């Protein structure tokens, strides 16, 4: 029996407004979030995606679960940034996700709270974001996640060990050719250096048939029908333990419009898959628990599901991306000090800036990967994305400095400190102020 594992990534970033150098220091009492983020655009996109994708596709999946008496199963990783927006602007869509989880046939998968690259920096920020998001998911959905997927499926051996130390049972990853070296992506593996953690890889050929090629009229298999796709899966061999179909949830109705037939396709996939005796649906945790002693697989370098390279180059390849990433994390120690002195909102704002999309928009790749980056970016160019991000960081730096100022008062002999006031001068000033107040009363 081969298990078909659907995993959907649900994510929307907090996009920045067009923040210029003239805006630095001009907050006029606004909160940092209101000052930096384009809430009009974020709300517009979230409501559009909820209408086109989340609500209709969630109905398709709920109907499939009911029609198959729970034999259809799937999983979601829902980022903290999209949860923020669902709670604020589309609570009905959020409830539709809760309704799916309440069936008992949908697994909720954990990641970092802000879809960040915190793992790449070392330190404890990665663990803090993971613990925070795991607690939030448990609160919203009433279930504690046991499967983890890092931002954009990025993982390596070191990341896997950190995930195991956090108590997760399974980790999702990309079945990249340079990782597998001829091995099958349809086997459960144990990451090198781990004792119990199971690694479930994405089958990028089958996944991309849905996520990218489905509406491509130049594709020889166009139009792809549900029964045809199920027949392809049916040809899995006895050694194929599972087939990982991992993709962005916005594939359905947003990246590929409803007019392509993508929703109808997914409506019929469950029945055609289950018509084959050698196929079943399962969640990642169910697959992981069914395989006790998987073979070891080593990932000495980071692997992701992004771009042709399947590495970190989508986010950290060029000097702009690297400079922005370094400047962001250089601010963290002072951000934490400010949070401890009574400005926790600055840490929350900083974490929104760790969302990987911000450096993704700065990519300067060309050809097909460049087209993908341009599709998702709200900016006119990667250079605009860089300048806006760095302007925001400069302004945030000023807020942090002001928050830290009371903690480090100037020394008495500091030449820039204002002269000390004598008690005599204070008395004269009080009298003068009193006379001015009395004059106003008259």
Which token pair is 366? 């060309």
Which token pair is 351? 């974490």
In a domain, 416, yes or no: no
Task: Give the chain's domain count.
Answer: 2
The question of whether 411 is a catalytic residue gets the answer no
Which token pair is 249? 């949830």
Q: How far apart are the first and last CA of the chain?
A: 93
Same domain? 190 vs 324:
no
Q: Which pLDDT value is given to residue 307?
A: 85
Contact predicate 13/115, CB 8 Å: yes
In a domain, 241, yes or no: yes
Strands of the sheet with 170-174, listed across from one edge:
147-148, 170-174, 198-202
Same domain? 280 vs 379:
no
pTM as predicted: 0.89
Could you tell me which residues come within 8 angstroms of residue 341 by beta carbon, excluding any fewer than 6 positions away? 403, 404, 406, 407
Same domain? 208 vs 125:
yes
The rounded Cα 189 to chain-centroid distance in angstroms is 24
Torsion on CA atoms 168, 169, 174, 180, rounded to nearest 10: 130
Contact predicate 289/169, CB 8 Å: yes
Q: Which pLDDT value is given to residue 293?
A: 86
Same domain? 222 vs 341:
no
Helices and strands, counts by H and E, the chain:
20, 12
β-bridge mates for residue 6, sequence order = 245
Tell how strand 170-174 and strand 147-148 pair up. parallel
Burial bucket for residue 337 (CB in 10 Å: 0-12, 13-18, 19+)? middle
Same domain? 291 vs 359:
no
β-bridge mates for residue 10, sequence order = 78
Same domain? 324 vs 292:
no
Residue with tokens 């150098």: 21
Which token pair is 280? 């079943």
Nearest to 262 by CA among 57, 74, 58: 57
Check 111, 125, 152, 164 and give the catalytic one. 152
Nearest to 327 by CA among 392, 234, 247: 392
What distance in Å separates the CA atoms of residue 41 and residue 85, rounded to the nearest whole number?
Answer: 12
What distance in Å separates the CA atoms of residue 345 and residue 404, rounded to the nearest whole number?
Answer: 14
181-201 in b/e form (b: 16+ CB < 10 A) is eeeebbbbbbbbebeebbbbb
In a domain, 245, yes or no: yes
- Domain residues for 357? 314-406
- Inter-CA distances, 223 with 52, 56, 228, 229, Å: 21, 21, 10, 11
Same domain? 391 vs 284:
no
Burial bucket for residue 411 (CB in 10 Å: 0-12, 13-18, 19+)? exposed
In a domain, 418, yes or no: no
What distance in Å separates the CA atoms of residue 198 and residue 53, rounded to the nearest whole number?
Answer: 31
Contact predicate 304/154, CB 8 Å: yes
Per the rule left: phi > 0, alpha: psi between -120 and 50, beta: everything else, 317 is alpha
In a domain, 116, yes or no: yes
Contact predicate 249/46, CB 8 Å: no
Find out whether the peptide bond into 223 is cis, omega within 30 degrees of 0: yes
Q: Which pLDDT value is given to residue 33?
A: 86
Q: Which pLDDT value is given to residue 238?
A: 84
**pLDDT beneath 50, residues of the chain:** 367-368, 370, 414-442
What distance in Å separates the CA atoms of residue 169 and residue 179, rounded to the nearest whole number?
Answer: 21
- Inter-CA distances, 334 with 117, 329, 341, 349, 410, Å: 19, 10, 11, 13, 18
Collapsing DSSP to helix, strand or coil, 339 comes out as helix
CATH of the domain at 128: 3.20.110.20
In a domain, 304, yes or no: no
Same domain? 256 vs 398:
no
Contact predicate 108/144, CB 8 Å: no
Contact predicate 217/276, CB 8 Å: no
Residue 303 has what DSSP assignment?
B
Same domain? 237 vs 205:
yes
In a domain, 86, yes or no: yes
Same domain? 158 vs 59:
yes
Nearest to 65 by CA among 96, 104, 35, 28: 104
Contact predicate 416/45, CB 8 Å: no
Same domain? 383 vs 287:
no
In a domain, 427, yes or no: no
What distance in Å separates the CA atoms of residue 359 and residue 292, rounded to the nearest whole number?
Answer: 39
Same domain? 280 vs 348:
no
Collapsing DSSP to helix, strand or coil, 100 comes out as helix
Contact predicate 394/120, CB 8 Å: no
């Amino acid at each position: 029996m081969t298990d078909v594992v659907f995993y959907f990534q649900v994510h929307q970033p907090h996009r920045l407004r067009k923040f210029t150098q003239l805006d630095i220091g001009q907050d006029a009492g606004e909160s940092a979030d209101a000052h930096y983020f384009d809430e009009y655009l974020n709300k517009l996109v979230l409501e559009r995606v909820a209408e086109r994708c989340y609500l209709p596709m969630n109905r398709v999946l709920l109907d499939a679960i009911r029609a198959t008496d729970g034999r259809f199963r799937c999983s979601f990783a829902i980022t903290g940034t999209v949860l923020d927006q669902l709670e604020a602007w589309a609570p009905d869509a959020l409830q539709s996700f809760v309704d799916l989880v309440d069936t008992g046939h949908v697994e909720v998968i954990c990641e970092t709270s802000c879809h960040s690259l915190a793992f790449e920096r070392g330190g404890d920020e990665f663990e803090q974001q993971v613990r925070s998001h795991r607690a939030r998911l448990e609160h919203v959905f009433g279930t504690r996640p046991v499967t983890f997927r890092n931002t954009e499926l990025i993982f390596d051996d070191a990341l896997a060990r950190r995930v195991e130390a956090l108590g997760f049972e399974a980790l999702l990853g990309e079945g990249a050719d340079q990782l597998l070296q001829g091995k099958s992506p349809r086997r459960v593996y144990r990451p090198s250096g781990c004792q119990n953690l199971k690694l479930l890889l994405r089958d990028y050929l089958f996944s991309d048939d849905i996520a990218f090629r489905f509406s491509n009229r130049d594709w020889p298999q166009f139009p792809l029908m549900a029964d045809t796709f199920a027949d392809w899966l049916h040809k899995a061999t006895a050694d194929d333990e599972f087939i990982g179909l991992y993709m962005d949830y916005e594939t359905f109705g947003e990246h590929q419009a409803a007019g392509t037939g993508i929703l109808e396709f997914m409506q019929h996939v469950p029945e055609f898959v289950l018509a084959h005796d050698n196929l079943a649906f399962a969640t990642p945790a169910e697959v992981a628990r069914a395989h006790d002693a998987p073979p070891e697989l080593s990932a000495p370098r980071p692997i992701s599901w992004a771009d042709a390279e399947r590495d970190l180059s989508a986010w950290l390849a060029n000097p702009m991306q690297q400079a922005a990433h370094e400047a962001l994390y250089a601010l963290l120690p002072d951000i934490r000090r400010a949070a401890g002195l009574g400005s926790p909102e600055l840490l929350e704002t900083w974490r929104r800036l760790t969302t990987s999309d911000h450096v993704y928009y700065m990519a300067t790749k060309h050809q097909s990967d460049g087209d993908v980056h341009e599709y998702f970016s709200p900016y006119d160019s990667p250079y605009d994305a860089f300048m806006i991000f760095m302007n925001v960081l400069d302004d945030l730096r000023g807020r942090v400095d002001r928050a830290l100022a009371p903690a480090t008062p100037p020394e008495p002999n500091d030449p820039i400190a204002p002269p000390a006031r004598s008690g005599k001068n204070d008395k004269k000033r009080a009298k003068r102020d009193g006379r001015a107040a009395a004059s106003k009363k008259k």
